[in-house]
Each structure stands twice: as C-alpha cells, then as structure tokens.
Amino acid sequence: DGGITQSPKYLFRKEGQNVTLSCEQNLNHDAMYWYRQDPGQGLRLIYYSQIVNDFQKGDIAEGYSVSREKKESFPLTVTSAQKNPTAFYLCASSKLDTLNEQFFGPGTRLTVL
C-alpha cells in the first residue's frame, strides 16, 4: 500500500537534546513538507523540499533542520535551539505536476520534559 509513514508516534525529549523525526513516503512524490500543529491551532509550515538535495525554509524554520538525501525520505531534526518544541508534527508529500492535494502521515507527538 502506498502512503506516508512517520515514526515514532510519540516522542519524549529532555530539554537541551536534539531529536530526529522520521518521514518516509512510497508515493513517488517529488515534494515533501513538515508542519507543526499546536493544540487547537492550524498547521504551520516548517520546511519543504521539491527535489532531492534541496529544501527551503517555511514560516517557522528557526530551531529546526532537515535533509533530503533520498526522494522517499525527509527527516526533521528538532534542535535544542527550538524554544518551545512540544507540539504535533505532521509530514506531507505531493506531486508537483498537478499541485493538488497533499497527503499526510499520521504525525508524531513530541513532548519535551
């Protein structure tokens, strides 16, 4: 079955630690995205990538980093520089030729202790 997987589903981190969230897709989509969602709020774009080895900052990139070494994978690292990292993180992918819907993964809930 084609889709997007994110792992882990729940993640706990101590303050000052970096942590990496995984996102993998087997939809053969060119573009991938990372969003952050705070309770009761909409999604805000952190980073996006349209092609391997290239990515752009979204609206709230500070304290985060990404890589795109393979088309299928777009991991997000939440660094210790992110002041308030506790949130729900969603990864998405889309085709670029049609620019229609983004497909989302199940999300990772990050809690900083």
Residues that bind another protein (CB under 8 A): 31, 33, 35, 40-45, 48, 50, 56, 58, 88, 90, 92, 94, 96, 99-107, 109
Please report, as a single letter, which amino acid is at residue 97: D
Q: Which is nearer to another protein, 16 or 39 (CB)?
A: 39
Residues 6+ apart with CB under 8 A from 98: none
- Give me the least distance between CB of 97 and another protein, in Å please: 9
Full DSSP string of 62-95 = TTEEE--SBTTB--EEE-TT-S---EEEEEEEE-
- Give me the least distance between CB of 103 and another protein, in Å please: 7
Q: Which is nearer to another protein, 35 or 78 (CB)?
A: 35
User: In angstroms, rounded to a whole number, what is the distance separating the alpha carbons of residues 34 and 93?
Assistant: 9
- Give me the least distance between CB of 99 and another protein, in Å please: 5
Q: Which is nearer to another protein, 1 or 15 (CB)?
A: 1
